[in-house]
Amino acid sequence: MSSLMGVRGIVDPTNFSWPREVEGLNGFVTIPAKPERIITASVGHDESVLALVPAERLVAVGAFTKDETFSNIAEFVKDRPEITRDPETIIAQSPDVVVTSPFFTADGIDALTRVGIPVVQTELKHDPEARINNILFIGYILGEEERALQFAMEVRERYESLVGVTSKAAPQPRVLAVTQYSDKLWVAGSNSTEGGVIVAAGGVNAADEAGIEGNQTTSLEGVIAMAPEVIIIPQPVAFGANEFRESLLNNETLAEVPAIKSGRVFVVESKHFTTLSYWNIRGAEDLARMLWPDDFSANPSPAFSLAE
């Protein structure tokens, strides 16, 4: 198990017995025994847990995890009891451990901790190494180190096989991830999930290049100024992605934007681009197929393996 050396959050990578201690963003936490009843409070964490443990151990999920618009594992958790951010709904499911994202409130963690539930708040960074670290860290918390190592290798291999091609492809096109909700245009700049996917797929994030950080609103004029060669729309079709694409292509004001001129405006599977888990690699594979059609098979990438 030497491969767990250097995984952030594991206090003693040589200790594979119980109790074991980990260090989350909320401090040091002791996990007394192998958790059988697991709850997380984010879609991305649910996706990671389901890759590591049999589905029945994930005892309850949030509404977003059950919604196939946002979740890549919706079909596996449809019948699970639903939790909210209200700690009471989580306590009612008697979990052995709760793994949360940095967005979970300190009050919520305090409430769960006070009733004796170990809560580990893990980091959420956008780069693939951080995603792999999270897989290994969560695997250790759940007592599934071997499966975590196996799955981390699967994810790493897919990532390395992708960037092995995309990093050599040239010239790298300037890609803008843009969505429209109501009448506002949103673009994804540096430190955004979509931005990480664009870079992994061999593109240059046009919004990052323009100095935009995170997900910000812009105007049509902003889109013109960023002059992307490819526009991707990581927005659910149910939320008007196709209509938005048509409106961009038919907007005379944008006629000189390279992506509009060449018709390279794509609606992409939003849950591959916005979820905070290894599924972003699937998004990068989707995008790489669009950017480099000669280098990748037109067939969709296979699904990730699930724990048995």
Partner 1 sequence: MLRVAALSRIEVYRRAGVSVRLVLGGGVLSLLILACALVSLSLGPVGIPVSHVASVILALLGIDGGEFSRTEQLVIEQIRLPRIVVGAAVGMALGVSGATMQGLFRNPMADPGIIGVSAGGAVGAVAAIALGATGLFFLALPTFAFVGAISATFLVYGIAAVGGHFSMATLLLAGVAVNAFLGAIVSAIIILLPDNEALREILFWLAGGLDSRSWEHVRISVPLIFGGAAVITLMARDLNLLTLGDDEARSMGVRVGYMRTVLMTAAALATGAAVAVSGTIAFVGLVTPHILRLVLGPDHRVLIPMSAIGGAIFVVVADTFARTVIQPAEFRVGVLTAFVGAPFFILLLIKNKRQAYSL
Report the interface residues with partner 1, using CB under 8 A. 63-64, 181-185, 187, 189, 207, 210, 212, 216-226, 239-240, 252-253, 255-256
Backbone conformation region of residue 14, classed left if phi is above 0, alpha if psi is from -120 to 50, else beta: alpha
Cβ proximity to partner 1: between 13 and 222 the closer is 222
Minimum distance from residue 147 beta carbon to partner 1 (Å): 31
Which value, in Å, is the radius of gyration of the alpha carbons in the chain? 20
Place of tokens 């699904």: 303
What length is written for the chain?
308
Classify 45 as helix, strand or coil. Answer: helix
Cβ proximity to partner 1: between 11 and 255 the closer is 255
Cβ proximity to partner 1: between 48 and 270 the closer is 270
The two tokens of residue 192 are: 């955004």
Interatomic CA distance for residues 174 and 164, integer angstroms: 19
Minimum distance from residue 209 beta carbon to partner 1 (Å): 10
Minimum distance from residue 13 beta carbon to partner 1 (Å): 36
Residue 1 CB contacts under 8 Å (≥ 6 apart), including other chains: 13, 14, 16, 145, 149
Interatomic CA distance for residues 119 and 112, integer angstroms: 7
Cβ proximity to partner 1: between 133 and 180 the closer is 180
Cβ proximity to partner 1: between 63 and 92 the closer is 63
Minimum distance from residue 94 beta carbon to partner 1 (Å): 24
Report the candidate in 129, 127, 65, 126 with the shortest Cα–Cα distance to residue 99.
Answer: 65
Residue 19, preceding peptide bond in cis (omega within 30° of 0) = yes
The two tokens of residue 10 are: 């594991």
Cβ proximity to partner 1: between 135 and 210 the closer is 210
C-alpha distances (whole Å) from 161 to each of 76, 203, 212, 281 are 28, 16, 29, 11
Minimum distance from residue 244 beta carbon to partner 1 (Å): 10
* Phi, psi values for residue 233, rounded to 5°: -120, 90
Cβ proximity to partner 1: between 224 and 249 the closer is 224
